[in-house]
Amino acid sequence: MTKLIALAGKGGTGKTTVSALLLKYLTERKMTPVLAVDADANANLNELLGLQVQTTLGKIRKEIKSDIPSGMTRDQFMEMKIHQSLIEDTGFDLMVMGQPDGPGCYCAANQYMAMTMDRLAENYKYIVVDNEAGMEHLSRMNLRKIDYLLIISDPSARGILTARRIADITRPLQLQVKKKVLIVNRAPDPIPAPLQAKIDQAVAEADLPLGGIISASDDLVNQELSGESYLKLSPDTRVVQQAFALFDTIFA
């Protein structure tokens, strides 16, 4: 059975960074094949993976408004284009949603994703969805059954509060989540007592177990500045060891 891993959190918490580290983990642990979905309008997961994007679901939406090839229905043409949009790499494929239809609207792109996701899922052991801020995007994509919801926070009171709110709204959105955890990203080391208190409060009051903490890392900054893929980070790098230990606990 394909397992769905969704990442959520307010903007700027490092969801895409954690997604890239998660893909490194899944591929190196041979938990493959994986479908990675960059569902943020400001798509940049490919940059952290060292991959070039040729087309997106947003571009496909525009293409199917033009003439459909003879002998094909619009749905068949759309499905063919979506399969062609997959960026293939060792152990995983990447799909990029791209720009929405209008301000804040992903209606058509989400509809196309929902129509093909069941068939796509049959080909993968895991699907990793790197979301835009909030959770409504998942419900619009018709991904209502989530095996693992990783709620990412930065080391701030507002970030922890937003993580709590995201955990709370999964029920009104009718999202079925088997396991949800809080991950505090880019944290100082050691954790300041006030921040630890906020984390402990969120864990206790929001029924949101702490999945783990990833420290701020110059190695990640330097890797991104150099344009090198996070997949090439040395296994001895402290942030990689932290992330892998965290994921081992979550996916045990």
User: 133 in the Ramachandran plot: left (φ > 0), alpha (ψ -120 to 50) or beta?
Assistant: beta
| 156 and 33 Cβ atoms separated by less than 8 Å | no
Q: Domain of 136?
A: 3-250
The CATH number assigned to the domain holding 170 equals 3.40.50.300
Give the pLDDT score at 135.
61
Give the pLDDT score at 119.
73
Give the pLDDT score at 26.
98
Give pLDDT tens digits along the chain (252 positions): 899 999 999 888 999 999 999 999 999 999 999 999 998 777 799 999 999 998 887 787 777 766 778 888 877 887 788 888 899 999 999 999 876 555 545 555 566 666 666 678 889 999 999 987 666 566 555 566 899 999 999 999 889 998 998 888 877 777 889 999 999 999 999 999 999 999 999 898 888 999 999 999 999 999 999 999 999 999 999 999 999 999 999 998
**Burial call 152-169: b when 16+ CB within 10 Å, e when fewer:** bbbbbeebbbbbbebbee
Q: How far apart are CA 127 and CA 39, in angstroms?
A: 12
Question: In total, how many domains does the chain have?
Answer: 1
Amino acid at 106: Y
Give the pLDDT score at 176.
87
Instruction: Please name which of 117, 100, 98, 8 lies closest in space to residue 55, comparing C-alpha atoms.
Output: 98
